[in-house]
Structure formats: structure tokens, C-alpha cells
């Protein structure tokens, strides 16, 4: 599993959903973005690059 710091930004959350990632609440109560594979993680960043240039 790959984890990133949670973002409340709507665009980031849309990218997370489109890439197949999920929001996980850790045992300490903090939310994180979680990806089950490197492919999901890479897709999240590719979608970010496309959004930044659109």
C-alpha cells in the first residue's frame, strides 16, 4: 500500500477517485489517501499533470 497526506482539495479527491485510490482513516484518526498499487499512484499523478495544464 502507498499512502499520501490527505488533501481536502476537491480536485485532488476527484483524481483519487479516478485513479482507484481511497481515503483511509488511520487508527490515530488522521485521514490519508491510499493506493493499492503503484499503477494507481502513478495514475493519480498523471491526472494531476493533465489538470495543471488544462
The pLDDT tens digits of the residues spanning 3-54 come to: 999 999 999 999 999 999 999 999 999 999 999 999 999 999 999 887 655 4
pLDDT score at 50:
75
Q: Is residue 51 part of a domain?
A: no
pLDDT score at 28:
97
Taking the CA atoms of residue 8, residue 11, residue 16 and residue 22 in that order, the dihedral angle to the nearest 10 degrees is 30
Q: Is residue 30 part of a domain?
A: yes
pLDDT score at 14:
95
Q: Is residue 12 part of a domain?
A: yes
Q: Angle at which helices 10-19 and 38-53 pack, to 10 degrees?
A: 140
Domain that holds residue 17: 2-39
Which whole-number Å values give the CA distances from 18 to 4, 14, 26, 27, 43, in the listed order? 16, 6, 22, 25, 8
Provide the domain count of the chain: 1
Amino acid at each position: 500500500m502507498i499512502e499520501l497526506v490527505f488533501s481536502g482539495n476537491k480536485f485532488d479527491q476527484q483524481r483519487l477517485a479516478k485513479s482507484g485510490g481511497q481515503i483511509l482513516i488511520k487508527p490515530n484518526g488522521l485521514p490519508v489517501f491510499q493506493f493499492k498499487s503503484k499503477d494507481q499512484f502513478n495514475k493519480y499523478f498523471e491526472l494531476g499533470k493533465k489538470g495543471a495544464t488544462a
